[in-house]
Structure 1
Amino acid sequence: MNGLCLVTGANGHLGNTLVRALLGQGHRVRAGVRDIGNHAPFAGLDCELVYAELLDSSALDKALEGVQVLFQVAAVFKHWARNPEAEIVEPNLVGTRRVLEAASRAGVQRVVYVSSVAAVGHDGTALDETHWNTESENAYYKSKILSEQAAWQCAEALGLNMVSVLPSAMVGPNAGSLTDTMGFLQTVRQRQMPFDPGFRFNFVDVRDVADGMIRAAEKGRAGQRYILANVRSSPLSDLIAAANTHTPGYRQPVSAPRWLLLGVAWLQERWARCVGKPAQLLLSQVRLFHNVAQEYDITKAKNELGFNPRSPEVALQQAFAYLYRQAHQPYEDLPQAAVQTVSSSRA
């Protein structure tokens, strides 16, 4: 960790938080993005900005020149698309292979690959890193399962020193544009939940994930997976309680039966195909999340990395505080400064 670090997807929620955490610890950071004209997420940050498109091998070769540690964060994160195979699964799978092949060509010494607890799955019990999900109906879940499997195959074939980290649903600051997870919190904040879908998500603060990734680069054992999550999941009532710490008065909506959720999801998906806008609820999400807790055993990350996430209650309260603050003054805490652009051409 004494050399240059490349963070792909550096303008995203996790990527941008990781860039800040690395800089805060004194590391040299190169921030890989697809749009190098957007400097807002990097205002005040002493980092290099480089074009890095996972499907562009020549651009990856340039971005990885002189890099010691690759933090592979970039990925398509969405659950709905008109053509999910072409828009979600294939980009994540092909992008994984190409960036790891480029890392091998560049002689990168360490790779921290970001997967997801989607690749572990959930069944209401405390699952650990030895478990692999076999769910394939949801395009995003399928993409994360196949991509991490491809990453391990590439790492073995290319002799890469790699660890993978598996975050749960990330919440917190530095979300220039809202992810699906932060969008869900925003819906709760705006009191737009007509009913309780019975989903229990495992929330973790994005800053704790970034810290866990740095620890994985420094302490993680090559060839190992590390779950970066909380032990237990949170029902909608916990989100409402966290939101009410800022604006009291939001009451728990009534619970929706499974048949109603499936009917709403069916209508949502058909409407989304007609208008080309994302469905707010998918059939695969109902089948995945309704009345199933997402519980994880994070003993390995705690013992080997020193991972110690803040509680779900604190993470949610701070995430809602961020959303309230951003609604009035985006990027309010960032000083203005120029960002060094390393590459302005899309090779």
Structure 2
Amino acid sequence: MDKEISLVTGANGHLGNNLVRLLLENNQKVRGTVRNINKKEPFKGLDCEIVKADITDRASLKKAFQGVTNLYAVAANFSMWAKNPKEEIYDNNLQGTQNVFDMANECGVKNIVYVSSVASLDFTKLPANVNNGYNKDRRNWYYNSKNDSDKLALELAEKYNIRTILILPSAMIGREAHNLSYSNSLVNQILNGEIPVDTGVTINWIDVKDVALGAYYAMLKGENKERYILSNPKHTSIQESVKIASELYPELKLKTPKKVPKWLLYSVAGLMEFSSKISGKEPLLQRHYLDMFYGLNQDYDISKTVRELDFNPKPSKQALIDALKYLKNDWNGKKTA
């Protein structure tokens, strides 16, 4: 595989950039796509080819995919909120998936590792498992997009006869963040004491480097048209996460988030949503998110991934400790993605 081109879409993103680095460490010939070719900081010192492409632009993908054997389809819109979520999140992610597979087929790509999400899993039976089917809750446009893009990727893999493996990461945190991802932003909020209340929503932390390694192993030995969860088995509560941070950095004097009744959180979320319509900024809390995840333990059955991909992730607590250290000491507010 050392003479084959491995391409990573969204190569300047959190997972994408870590994956580029991992592939280079394994002597791969790497090409990455970015939307803004002028922002080169994420690739400083890396011996890889960077090209301009966008998953919503078929012509740019066709040009980028020339000569590619192995494709890591990482790029997507990861947003929980937008002014027009149907168009900005759902439609973009579905059309992007269609474009990626159409152009991969035209360009003769042999293998695709498609980055889906635990958002596409059915949480009515825990621990969540790929065999339980898809998420039936349709209240969030991002979750809808990952659910339906996951299905579409499998349909297109069948149609075009392209070996395709789907990976489903949970909340990725940790190093090589050239911009704060959604999950790293939450870790940063914990450090800054910006979590005053416990929203009752649990997190399943996973080190982004373990996800990158899982993606690489999926390409090497994943079964065609199979889905693999890349997470830790057990969740971590917001209170536990703040406690870990406070023990690591007692000088920050972080306060334990107070438990608040759901009805009160619901009322606050409604006010925040109303305010966001005026300001255009994402509300910190949304009612449908509380409906979906309040009190839900986000635990996952990763036995299939462990068995078939030799997946051995860093424990959730250690992943959080490492992310806290990185964001506090090394990140320094870089915003170059």
TM exceeding 0.5: yes
Q: Tell me, what secondary structure is at the counterpart of 1:71?
A: strand
Structure 2 residue aligned with 1:66: 67
Q: 1:246 to 1:44 in 2, by over 3 A?
A: farther
Q: Distance in 1 between matches of 2:93 and 2:247?
A: 38
C-alpha distance after superposition, 1:127-172 (max 9, x if no partner):
2111211111111101100111111111111111101000011111
Q: Which runs of 5+ in 1 are unaligned?
A: 332-347
Whether the 8 Å contact between 2:34 and 2:52 is mirrored in structure 1 is yes
Cα-to-partner distance string for 1:296-333 (whole Å, 9 max, x where unaligned): 110111111100000000000001111102454749xx
- Whole-Å Cα distance in 2 between the matches of residues 315 and 124 of structure 1? 26
Cα distance in 2, alignment partners of residues 327 and 156 from structure 1? 42
- Structure 2 stretches lacking a partner, 5+ long: none
Aligned structure 1 segments of 4 or more residues deviating by more than 6 angstroms: none
Q: 1:323 aligns with which of 313, 327, 337?
A: 327
* Among 137, 140, 144, the residue aligned to 1:138: 140
Give the structure 2 partner of residue 336 of structure 1.
none
2:9 aligned partner = 8
How far did 1:255 drift?
0.3
Aligned to 1:335: none
In the alignment, the residues of structure 1 paired with residue 311 and residue 242 of structure 2 have an alpha-carbon distance, to the nearest angstrom, of 27
Task: Tell me the CA shift for residue 19 of structure 1.
Answer: 0.6
| 1:82-122 CA-partner distances (Å, limit 9, x unpaired) | 10001100000000000111011111110000000000132
Q: Distance in 1 between matches of 2:125 and 2:193?
A: 28
For 1:279, give the aligned amino acid.
P
Pairs within 5 Å for 1:270-281: 270-281=274-285
Cα deviation, residue 241, structure 1: 2.7
Q: Does 1:310 align with 2:314?
A: yes
Question: For 1:96-135, what aligned pairs fall within 5 Å after superposition?
Answer: 96-123=97-124, 125-131=126-132, 132-135=134-137
Q: Distance in 2 between matches of 1:16 and 1:173?
A: 10
Secondary structure of the equivalent of 1:227?
strand
Distance of 1:259 and 1:247 partners within structure 2: 33
| Distance in 1 of aligned mates of 2:332 and 2:162 | 45
Instruction: Tell me the equivalent position of 2:163.
Output: 161
Give the letter aligned to residue 21 of structure 1. Answer: L
Query: How does the TM-score come out when normalised to structure 2?
Result: 0.95
Distance 1:185 1:124 in 2: 28
Please give the secondary structure, in 2, of the residue aligned with 1:49.
strand
- Residue 193 of structure 1 corresponds to which residue in structure 2? 195
> CA 1:329–1:184 in structure 2 vs 1: closer, same or farther (change >3 Å)?
closer
Letter in 2 for 1:302: V
Match of 2:22 in 1: 21
Q: Say which structure, 1 or 2, has more relative contact order (CA 8 Å, 6+ apart).
A: 1
1:263 aligns with 2:267: yes
3-state SS, counterpart of residue 290 of structure 2: helix
- Give, in whole Å, the separation in 2 of the partners of 1:197 and 1:124: 22
Change (3 A) 1:121 1:182: farther
Deviation at 1:193, TM superposition (A): 1.3
CA RMSD between the two structures: 1.3
Say whether the 8 Å CA contact 1:96–1:151 is kept in structure 2.
yes
SS at match of 2:314: coil
Q: 1:36 corresponds to which letter in structure 2?
A: I
Measure the CA separation in 1 of the matches of 2:123 and 2:71.
Answer: 29
Instruction: Give the C-alpha shift of residue 237 in structure 1.
Output: 2.3
Q: Check conservation: 2:105, 2:160, Cα contact below 8 A.
A: yes
- Whichever residue aligns with residue 314 of structure 1, its letter is Q
Question: Helix, strand or coil: the match of 1:80?
Answer: coil
How big is the shift at 1:4? 0.6
Match of 2:205 among 197, 203, 206: 203
